[in-house]
């Protein structure tokens, strides 16, 4: 198993990629606004579902991994440009969930 990579390293790599495509420029045809990123995140999450449509088995783990990576990249970018520390938000949410009950 590969060594784990911290969120900051992934975030830095994601920003470098987006910057290299020119998507942070004001004249970009793909404005990287929170609204646009939230929409893209949901669209990519829908693509994850396509891997399970009409079947319970996972036929292509590599393709699923690519879609999950797309979801994570949009999530990281949305959190970053919105000023959300995603790692801390996850820990806070887990902590809050310990006191919740589900029925």
| More confident of the two residues 2 and 72 | 72
Q: Give me the mean pLDDT over the 30-56 stretch.
A: 95
Contact 7, 86 (CB under 8 A): yes
Look up residue 103 and give its two tokens: 């029925």
Per CATH, domain 31-94 is 1.10.150.20: no
| Least confident span in 1-5, 63-67, 75-79, 88-92 | 1-5
Residue 81 contacts residue 14 (beta carbons within 8 Å): no
Distance CA 20, CA 37 (A): 17
**Which helix H or strand E contains 101, and what residues bound it?**
none
11: how many CB neighbours lie within 10 A of its CB? 17
Task: Render pLDDT for 35-45 as a digit per residue (tens, 0 to 9).
Answer: 999 999 999 99
Domain residue spans of the chain:
31-94
Structure tokens at 19: 């910057």
Kindly state the average pLDDT of the residues 46-58. 90
For the cut 60, the answer to whether the pLDDT of residue 83 exceeds it is yes
């Amino acid at each position: 198993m590969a060594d784990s990579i911290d969120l900051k390293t992934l975030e830095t790599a994601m920003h470098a990629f987006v910057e290299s495509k020119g998507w942070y420029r004001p004249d970009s045809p793909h404005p990287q606004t929170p609204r646009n990123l939230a929409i893209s995140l949901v669209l990519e999450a829908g693509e994850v579902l396509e891997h399970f449509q009409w079947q319970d088995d996972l036929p292509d783990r590599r393709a699923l991994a690519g879609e999950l990576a797309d979801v994570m990249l949009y999530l990281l970018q949305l959190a970053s440009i919105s000023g959300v520390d995603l790692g801390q938000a996850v820990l806070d949410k887990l902590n809050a969930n310990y006191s919740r009950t589900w029925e």
